Amino acid sequence: MCPVAARKIAHGNLSRYVLLLTFALALAGCGAGGTASTPVDGITSARPQVIEPIAGVQPTSTTTRNRYGDPNAHATPLSVVRHELSLEIVAARQTNATYIDPLQYVTVWERTDQGVDAILPVGAPILAPCPIKILAVTPDWYAGQPLVYFELLNGPEAGRVQYVAEEITSIARPGSILQQGEAIARFARTGTGIEYGWSTPSGITLAVATTGYEEGEITPAGRSMRAWLNSLGANAGPNT
């Protein structure tokens, strides 16, 4: 082989070698820039991690609330709504109308406490001092005896609430309107006498709601009631 031919062959081999080397480097660069694959051994050797709860942190609820409310709920019966409305106090305007003594049949006046205590003949009525609305009855207010409270609908005390409690029976129906002089209730055959006093619209005695009350204590609310009765000619006497 002549020297010129040998140099051509050697040059050709060198060119192919350079070309192969360049191609190999290009492939290596593409692999470095791409996303590496996760070995299968890495997947099979992975273990689940337990997430411990943090004290004081409430878990996130995945329950979806019904924004339209309870689909099984039922509307309050109209009869119940009407009954509840019938027990509400009414807008009573103060007037110059006069009251009558509601305790005209008292035979014995007793102590002043939350209200004024008294004794009547069996069956004697406790009278409405003016037109009134019976608000509600508490069946077991004291020693198994009831309390009824009612709103005064006219006169200087219009809108205020009174009560009569304990030894009473034949109580007027809640929600009813009584005219002046009609019977709110009647004196029962047995019991602890009656108590007549000022009330709150919710049926709590005014004495308890304002100054509190301990058994036998003369309260400002009781003094006020005795003075009110005396102003109507009840002759209830002084506070005792």
Rounded to a whole number, what is the distance in angstroms from the first to the last CA of the chain?
151
**Residue at 76 is within a domain:** no
**Residue at 203 is within a domain:** yes
Count of domains forming the chain: 1
According to DSSP, the residues that pair with 24 across neighbouring strands are: none
- C-alpha–C-alpha distance, residues 162 and 178, integer Å: 14
- C-alpha–C-alpha distance, residues 199 and 193, integer Å: 18
Q: What is the pLDDT of residue 14?
A: 52
The pLDDT tens digits of the residues spanning 223-233 come to 999 999 999 99
The pLDDT tens digits of the residues spanning 189-239 come to 999 999 999 999 999 999 999 999 888 899 999 999 999 999 999 999 998
The pLDDT tens digits of the residues spanning 98-128 come to 999 999 999 999 999 999 999 999 999 999 9
The pLDDT tens digits of the residues spanning 52-85 come to 666 655 555 555 566 556 777 777 787 777 666 7
**Residue at 95 is within a domain:** no
Nearest to 232, CA basis, from 127, 118, 120, 98: 98
Q: What is the pLDDT of residue 196?
A: 98
**Residue at 173 is within a domain:** yes
| CB-based contact 115:142 (threshold 8 Å) | no
According to DSSP, the residues that pair with 148 across neighbouring strands are: 137, 164
**Residue at 166 is within a domain:** yes
Q: Is the pLDDT of residue 11 over 60?
A: no
Q: What is the pLDDT of residue 35?
A: 47
Q: Is the pLDDT of residue 156 over 80?
A: yes
The stretches of the chain forming alpha helices (DSSP H) are 3-33, 40-44, 78-86, 206-210, 220-231
Q: What is the pLDDT of residue 223?
A: 97
CATH code at position 150: 2.70.70.10
111: left (phi > 0), else alpha (psi -120 to 50), else beta?
Answer: beta
Q: Are strands 177-178 and 132-142 parallel, antiparallel or unpaired?
A: antiparallel
Q: Decide which of 89 and 12 is more confident.
A: 89
The pLDDT tens digits of the residues spanning 128-139 come to 999 999 999 999
- C-alpha–C-alpha distance, residues 236 and 222, integer Å: 12
**Residue at 187 is within a domain:** yes
- C-alpha–C-alpha distance, residues 87 and 135, integer Å: 5
**Residue at 5 is within a domain:** no
**Residue at 152 is within a domain:** yes
Q: What is the pLDDT of residue 36?
A: 47
The DSSP call for residue 14 is: H
Range of the domain at 137: 108-231
Residue 17: pLDDT band with limits 50, 70, 90 = low
| pTM (2 d.p.) | 0.67
Nearest to 102, CA basis, from 157, 47, 55: 157
Q: Is the pLDDT of residue 187 over 90?
A: yes
For 66, the enclosing helix (H) or strand (E) is none
